[in-house]
Structure 1
């Protein structure tokens, strides 16, 4: 039986859609299989209270070289190039300027010590100064950035992203997830709610088995999260154990969001930012009235995100409400109410936020990105060596995998001619 498609893409997130766009541009036929009932993966915009809120990725990091900016503009999506909210502290908070300077200095010093640690243990926690009063703040920020505690962060990996970032952070008012989901080429065949159960090699390509049966192609591009890949939910061909090992070296961190609706808009200044507790490793970062909407977005990472994973959304609402009360006064409770909370770590089809290399394992990204037998190709944010954790890194990895797959197919067809 001949192959029905040139390439089968497993996973409909930013990487899968990036691969589909590349294949479509080359005139190749593709089938995209997505386990959930929607496109986008960890890019997910949901209308809540009448506002398009990003439950997953929300910022065009390194916007001046982010592929999604060009895709947005070509598709008529507005791009806000203004300063992100964390550049503007909420004026209603009495800030301790001395403490602010101290925490910024402590974090900068930790990042500088990472360069020494990278050449040794590679464990980011070894760059923490014993007894440093702002270590809890460093832990919280590391949680935002990597989703895990410094003990589980490769210093080399952390610095690779930091050094490559341009610091330009732009915004999509209609939602990052909205853009990603709308960007699948119409020529790509899409099957939602179709989990992949098994991938086998065939003499002329691959056979991908789902609950609906098997489908064949010349190659497959696997874009699932490292949690799914390492967990073994998809049965892969014999010999792919090193790829699963690489995925295990790149576990997903914990990052969650809690959204609250503001009953009285005058209580908060629009497009501002606040940080919950400079002395708390579980503290949240607050985006207040983004785009002028009567909404507060609380972002929790690492230890803070564990509250939602272990105790559920009610505990998350209670935690952020208490932090907001400590910032704005006890009467804030009468102005806010729960709107939504994420649960990325509890989603079986994803299993967390974004990847972080374990100490001494930063090479796992390139190991995971290697093709297998010129039949199976790997993409996803975890396979990018410096733009990991981002939707544009995922997109670019999809492009790379699509090019590899098509080159392999051309080579195979040339030999058969």
Structure 2
């Protein structure tokens, strides 16, 4: 497949948003191309097999709000098995390192924090979410840690109104073969140009002129689905410039979450799909998933500033930290059973530069600004443009479908 000289619709990015947009346009009769900088589809959804008996989602791994998640129907259509096991959170956390009495105390503090945040958001005034922490509460560092897992940042960097806008139905399932593998299968029938990095969109003339690493093409319309950090850093330039979009993207930076997979020899009596977390009273800590799908492994999850520190320390630092934490919780005998398999480094990925978006305090309204079309020709999608399902693959997918509908209306 070679780069066409012109198309009616160019979609930039083959992540969940780009795939959703391309599928929505398939039966429109419009000539369409998806321009993807990587050599694969899926964006921040990427499944690997680091050992013969372990499947690992380096990026998104959970079908959040599964009862409203379009990828559930897509998985069923493509015959991907869905695992409905209860997540390794709350009820499934192992007692080791976090006894039930302490865990109940922590969960009460967490629920009271969310209740205060809900009440404060009713004023309509934005603020850093950490203003809703109870001063001096011993669990505040761990509540910050939860934010790093959920938002990719600590609460001082999180908009209160944005945090409250997120919708979660509490139903979380998984794809047995991997969420990234599902996205790869979903992208198979689509016209995607790989290794095609877009650097500039000239919208000064009647037709859009799109400069890429493979050459230049013209298009009547374009759907831009790239992560906010690339727009904010002007890795893709607009001519004439779009300062309002750059500012909106800068107010919606990608926080950082990274995952690590450890091989586990001789699992012993460790439960399948159990959770593991220490009552460490600190933010710089991981959360662990024991034997996901019953596989002989432990998956670790790190977020926020600590994830960035570990990433910047170089390859292997995340695994070394995870092994030390797991051993501290399960005992020294466990060390010889653990081996590093793989780890993600989303902050170092040139086409992501982070995990998923959060609104900085005072910037909750920027999602709508980023999503708004320009001149009936430039359309914007991606998880950061979703009003309520941001930071998720299904939010990204739905935003791509929304942008495709806007494109079709504009042609009429």
- Partner of residue 350, structure 2: 348
Equivalent residue for 1:149, pick from 136, 148, 154: 154
Q: What is the rounded CA distance, in whole Å, between the counterparts of 2:398 and 2:187 in structure 1?
A: 15
Distance 1:302 1:244, change over 3 A: same
Shift of 1:184: 2.0
> Quick one: structure 1 residues 90 and 168, their matched pair in 2 at CA, closer, same or farther if it must change by over 3 Å?
closer
Cα pair 1:10 1:223 within 8 Å, conserved: yes
Partner-residue secondary structure (3-state), 1:351: coil
Q: How does 1:268-279 map to 2 (within 5 A)?
A: 268-279=270-281
> Structure 1 residue 58 and structure 2 residue 61: aligned?
yes
Which has the higher mean CA deviation after the structures are superposed, 83-92 or 393-402?
83-92
Deviation (angstroms), 1:202: 5.7
For residues 147-174 of structure 1, give each alpha carbon's deviation from its aligned partner in whole angstroms, at most 9, with x where no partner exists. 111111011110111xx21100011000
Instruction: Give the structure 2 partner of residue 108 of structure 1.
Output: 111
CA deviations on 1:152-206 (whole Å, 9 max, x unpaired) are: 1011110111xx21100011000000111211262x3211111001111264431
* Structure 2 counterpart of 1:415: none
CA shift digits 1:277-333 (9 cap, x unpaired): 441201111111111100110011113312322212322122111111111101111
Alignment match, 1:139:
144
Residue 173 in structure 1 maps to residue 157 in structure 2:
no
Shift of residue 276, structure 1, vs aligned partner? 3.3
Q: 1:61 & 1:312 partners in 2: Cα distance?
A: 30
SS at match of 2:239: coil
Q: Verify the 8 A CA contact 1:307 1:316 in the aligned structure 2.
A: no
CA-CA distance at 1:10 after TM superposition: 0.5
Aligned length: 406
Cα drift, residue 121 of structure 1: 4.7
Asked if structure 2 preserves the Cα contact closer than 8 Å seen for 1:205 and 1:375, the reply is no
Q: What is the deviation of 1:91?
A: 5.0
**1:190 corresponds to:** 192
Q: Is the 8 A contact 2:370 2:380 kept in 1?
A: yes
Do the aligned partners of 2:94 and 2:275 also contact (CA within 8 Å) in 1?
Answer: no
Is residue 251–residue 363 contact of structure 2 (8 Å, CA) maintained in 1?
yes
Q: Does 1:122 find its partner at 2:107? A: no
Q: 1:235 to 1:95 in 2, by over 3 A?
A: closer
Unaligned residue ranges in structure 1 (runs of 5+): 411-417
Aligned partners of 1:385, 1:248: CA distance in 2, in Å? 17
Alignment correspondent of 1:243? 245
CA distance in 1, matches of 2:165, 2:199: 34
Superposition pairs for residues 241-320 of structure 1, below 5 Å?
241-266=243-268, 268-320=270-322
Write the distance in 1 (CA, Å) between the matches of 2:365 and 2:304. 23
Question: 2:64 touches 2:173 (CA, 8 Å); kept in 1?
Answer: yes
Task: Give the RMSD, CA atoms, in angstroms.
Answer: 1.7
CA gap of 1:203–1:76, structure 2 versus 1, over 3 A, is same
Partner residue, 2:26: 24
Q: Is the 8 A contact 2:98 2:279 kept in 1?
A: no
1:240–1:202 CA distance, 2 compared to 1 (3 A): closer
Alignment match, 1:36? 38
Partner Cα distance (2:210, 2:257) in 1: 32
Q: Is the 8 A contact 2:258 2:343 kept in 1?
A: yes
- Cα displacement (A) at 1:239: 4.4
Match of 1:102, SS state, is helix
In structure 2, relative to structure 1, the CA distance for the partners of 1:94 and 1:383 (3 Å cut) is closer
Deviations 1:1-23 (A, max 9, x none): x9732210111100000100001
Q: Does the CA contact (< 8 Å) of 1:20 and 1:185 recur in 2? A: no
TM-score (norm 2): 0.95
Three-state SS of the structure 2 residue aligned to 1:53 is strand
Residues 208-223 of structure 1 mapped to structure 2, 5 A cutoff: 208-223=210-225
Task: Name the residue aligned to 2:325.
Answer: 323
State the Cα distance separating 1:267 from its structure 2 match: 5.4
Please report how far the alpha carbon of residue 273 of structure 1 lies from its aligned counterpart in structure 2 after TM superposition: 0.8
Residues 218 and 409 of structure 1 are in contact (CA less than 8 Å); yes or no, is this contact kept in structure 2? no
8 Å CA contact 2:11–2:225 kept in 1: the answer is: yes
> Counterparts in 2 of 1:71-86, with a 5 A limit?
71-86=74-89
